[in-house]
């Protein structure tokens, strides 16, 4: 039987944010940075790769480590972290990995003969005189490389623009020679940072970080994280060099600007990074979410998107079923970690806010233990989108922890009718709590709200 596709699309014990997806042959490959469970900074791991058949985005395969962080000659002691990378196929048919180490302001490149083999250090991006890009007088620091190769030319986009920093102007672009290292021509700014966005059309959604470039038809799509951080936005142009116009938000990992409460967060978000890709005739946005109550244990998610005839991309909502191609069957057991909405009455925006519920796991980083939701408290709502219900007569929640006489309420609308109540008692092991229910047939979300004292944990939901 074909696997069901969930968000996050990789196993719940894997933490690969900043996803750059590419189709090579009959598989889609995901390249990103590598967070740890319970990590204390961003990007603590080596670069690894996962891939899936283009016709089944639920069947991901671990390809292994493709580039250890001490492979870079400037990082032999492994003291620096590998920040978000990107990959392109060069004119010679080889695969080139572009990256920046966390304490450096230059772009490094590694190369491999295959998409997911062991990459070898190739060099640093530099000017014709050998000066490293980022070190020439007047250069701005390099960050988050995004790359696109057409013919013998590779376009390299970089940048980071924080609020209040007028020394950084926006997203930068340079062209590279066939050697994939040497700059040809001058640097150009393609999207403004927040301090220079006035009068540009980018106001409110100025470039922050995470530049990524894709092409559809004759249009170039510049995907990036905006100043609010939780958004992935896009700008379009008919040229990769200039003329980009702001297009809109593709996805928000707070789920802002969309749905029945467009100004309220439905999840605890944070920074965002990803891109768009066409897989088997369908376009998708890859992005990431925060887990573990911090910004340092991020997981990749994906949603199908639509590119309209005018080139625009309507914003899509976060879901639990993005990789599935439709709602999940409303029968059987589903892990709680696929919840796309977690919020309480305070409606806080950012992961790390005091006291909020979050996805986490038992064990230590690398332990293949399915995730669960912890620190659930009075007023916490957990939402899943979407299920296709048919003849569901019973619902069971796998719960542990102290609940102080609390209960879970089950609904298919955030503020709708309560369809079942499930009283809890204190338990230090995963315990089944059930109630009869009549869920409406067809495609619906599911919302679970906890009322009462204590901080129970939720492992899974079972429909019968």
The H or E element that residue 329 is part of is strand 328-329
Please provide residue 280's backbone torsions phi and psi, each rounded to the nearest 5 degrees: 55, 40
Residues 162-190: tens digit of each pLDDT: 999 999 999 999 999 999 999 999 999 99
Q: What is the pLDDT of residue 183?
A: 98
Cα–Cα dist 247/291, whole Å: 29
Mean pLDDT of 384-412: 97
The last residue of one of the domains, among 278, 312, 346, is: 312
Count up the domains in the chain and report the number. Answer: 2
Stated length of the chain: 464
Q: Find the mean pLDDT for residues 137-157.
A: 98
188 within domain boundaries: yes
Question: Tokens 């809890």 label which residue?
Answer: 424
Q: What is the pLDDT of residue 250?
A: 99
Residue 15 lies in a domain: no
- Location of structure tokens 């996962």: 50
CATH number of the domain that residue 202 is part of: 2.115.10.20
- Indicate the residue among 312, 344, 367 that finishes a domain: 312
CB atoms within 10 A of CB 308: 8
What is the residue range of 348's domain? 328-463
In terms of domains, do 303 and 334 share one? no
Distance, in Å, from the CA atom of 421 to the CA atom of 442, rounded to the nearest integer, reads: 21
Mean per-residue pLDDT over the chain, rounded = 98
Q: Residues with Cβ < 8 Å from 102, sequence gap 6 or more?
A: 42, 43, 80, 81, 82, 83
Longest dimension (CA), the chain: 74
Predicted local confidence at residue 51, as pLDDT:
98
Q: Write down the pLDDT at residue 1.
A: 57
189/292 same-domain check: yes
Token reading at 8: 């996050």
**CB 39 within 8 Å of CB 105:** no
Q: Is 69 exposed, middle or buried (0-12, 13-18, 19+ CB in 10 A)?
A: buried
Confidence band, pLDDT 50/70/90 cuts, at residue 362: very high
Phi, psi of 336 (to 5 degrees): -65, -25
**How many angstroms separate the CA atoms of 388 and 446, rounded?**
10
Specify if 323 maps to a domain. Answer: no
The residue-averaged pLDDT of 19-30 equals 98
152 is an active site residue: no
Nearest CA among 167, 170, 159 for reference residue 198: 170
Rounded CA-CA distance 338/373 in Å is: 10
Say if residue 58 is in the same domain as residue 129.
Answer: yes
C-alpha distances (whole Å) from 295 to each of 5, 22, 164, 268 are 25, 25, 22, 10
Average pLDDT over residues 229-252: 98
Residue 397 has pLDDT above 90, yes or no: yes
Among the listed residues 241, 240, 148, the one whose alpha carbon sits nearest the alpha carbon of residue 187: 241
Strands 328-329 and 381-389: parallel
Average pLDDT over residues 388-413: 97
pLDDT in tens, 302-333: 999 999 999 999 999 999 999 999 999 999 99
Residue 161 CB neighbours (<10 A): 25
The DSSP code for 111 is E
Other CB atoms within 10 A of residue 50 CB: 22
Same domain, 335 and 225: no
Judgement on whether residues 360 and 390 belong to the same structural domain of the protein: yes
Q: Which of 14, 86, 195, 209 is catalytic?
A: 209
Name residues whose C-beta falls within 8 Å of residue 337's C-beta, 6 or more positions apart in sequence. Answer: 8, 12, 359, 361, 370, 371, 372, 373
Active-site entry in 14, 18, 231, 255: 18
Q: Kindly state whether residue 12 falls inside one of the protein's structural domains.
A: no
321 touches 284 (CB < 8 A): no
Q: Is residue 185 part of a domain?
A: yes
Question: What span, in angstroms and rounded, lies between the C-alpha atoms of 409 and 389?
Answer: 18
Rounded CA-CA distance 288/249 in Å is 15
| 237 & 299 share domain | yes
Report the C-alpha gap between 107 and 124 in whole angstroms. 6
Is residue 384 located within the same domain as residue 278? no
pLDDT the model gives residue 2: 74
**Per-residue DSSP letter, 101:** B
Q: Is the same domain home to 156 and 290?
A: yes
* Structure confidence by residue, pLDDT tens digits, 247-270: 999 999 999 999 999 999 999 999
Residue 332 lies in a domain: yes
Structure-token pair, residue 165? 């920093």
- Cβ-count burial 18-49 (b if 16+ within 10 Å, e if not): bbbbbeeeebbbbbbbbbbbbbeebbbbbbbb
Domain end call among 312, 343, 376: 312
What would the pLDDT profile of 290-303 be if each residue is shown by its tens digit? 999 999 999 999 99
For the chain, how many helices (H) and strands (E)? 0, 31
Would you call 261 a catalytic residue per the annotation? no
> Distance between CA 249 and CA 197 in Å, rounded?
16
Lowest mean pLDDT among 1-5, 383-387, 393-397, 407-411: 1-5
Cα–Cα distance, 214 to 224 (Å, whole number): 11
My answer on whether 58 and 178 are in the same domain is yes
Q: How far apart are CA 233 and CA 248, in angstroms?
A: 6
Q: CA 87, CA 107: separation in Å to the nearest integer?
A: 13
Please tell me whether residues 156 and 304 are part of one structural domain: yes
Q: Which CATH number covers residue 366?
A: 2.60.120.260
Both 131 and 163 in a single domain?
Answer: yes
Residue 360 lies in a domain: yes
**pLDDT of 61-106, one tens digit each?**
999 999 999 999 999 999 999 999 999 999 999 999 999 999 999 9
In this structure, the answer to whether residues 401 and 362 fall within a common structural domain is yes
């Amino acid at each position: 039987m074909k696997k069901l596709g969930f968000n996050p699309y990789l196993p719940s014990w894997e933490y690969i944010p900043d996803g750059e997806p590419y189709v090579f042959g009959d598989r889609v490959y995901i390249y990103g940075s590598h967070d740890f469970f319970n990590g204390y900074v961003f990007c603590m791991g080596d670069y690894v790769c996962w891939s899936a058949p283009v016709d089944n985005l639920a069947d991901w395969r671990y390809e292994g480590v493709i580039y250890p962080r001490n492979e870079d000659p400037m990082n032999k002691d492994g003291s620096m972290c590998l920040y978000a990378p990107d990959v392109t196929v060069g004119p010679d048919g080889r695969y080139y990995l572009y990256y920046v180490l966390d304490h450096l302001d230059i772009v490094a490149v590694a190369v491999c003969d295959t998409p997911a083999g062991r990459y070898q250090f190739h060099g640093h991006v530099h000017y014709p005189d050998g000066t490293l890009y980022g070190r020439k007088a007047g250069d701005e620091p390099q960050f988050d490389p995004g790359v696109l190769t057409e013919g013998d030319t590779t376009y390299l986009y970089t940048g980071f623009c924080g609020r209040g920093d007028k020394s950084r102007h926006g997203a930068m672009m340079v062209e590279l020679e066939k050697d994939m290292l040497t700059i040809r021509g001058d640097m150009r700014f393609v999207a403004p940072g927040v301090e220079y966005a006035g009068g540009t059309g980018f106001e409110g959604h100025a470039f922050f970080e995470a530049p990524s470039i894709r092409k559809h038809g004759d249009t170039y799509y510049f995907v990036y994280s905006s100043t609010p951080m939780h958004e992935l936005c896009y700008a379009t142009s008919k040229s990769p060099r200039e003329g980009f116009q702001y297009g809109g938000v593709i996805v928000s990992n707070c789920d802002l600007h969309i749905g029945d409460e467009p100004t309220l967060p439905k999840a605890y978000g944070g920074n965002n990074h990803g891109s768009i890709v066409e897989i088997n005739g369908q376009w998708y946005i890859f992005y990431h979410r925060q887990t573990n109550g911090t910004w340092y244990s991020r997981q990749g998610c994906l949603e199908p998107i639509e590119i309209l005839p005018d080139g625009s991309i309507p914003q899509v909502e976060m879901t639990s079923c993005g990789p599935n191609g439709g709602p999940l069957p409303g029968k059987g057991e589903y892990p709680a970690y696929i919840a796309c909405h977690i919020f309480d009455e305070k409606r806080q925006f950012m992961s790390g806010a005091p006291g909020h519920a979050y996805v986490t796991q038992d064990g230590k980083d690398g332990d293949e233990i399915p995730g669960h939701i912890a620190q659930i408290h009075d007023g916490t709502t957990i939402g899943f989108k979407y299920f296709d219900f048919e003849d569901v007569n019973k619902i069971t929640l796998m719960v542990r922890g102290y609940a102080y006489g609390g209960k879970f309420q089950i609904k298919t609308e955030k503020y709708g009718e309560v369809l079942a109540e499930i009283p809890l008692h204190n338990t230090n092991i995963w315990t089944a709590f059930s109630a009869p229910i009549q869920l409406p047939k067809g495609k619906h979300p599911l919302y679970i709200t906890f009322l009462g004292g204590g901080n129970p944990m939720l492992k899974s939901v079972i429909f019968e």
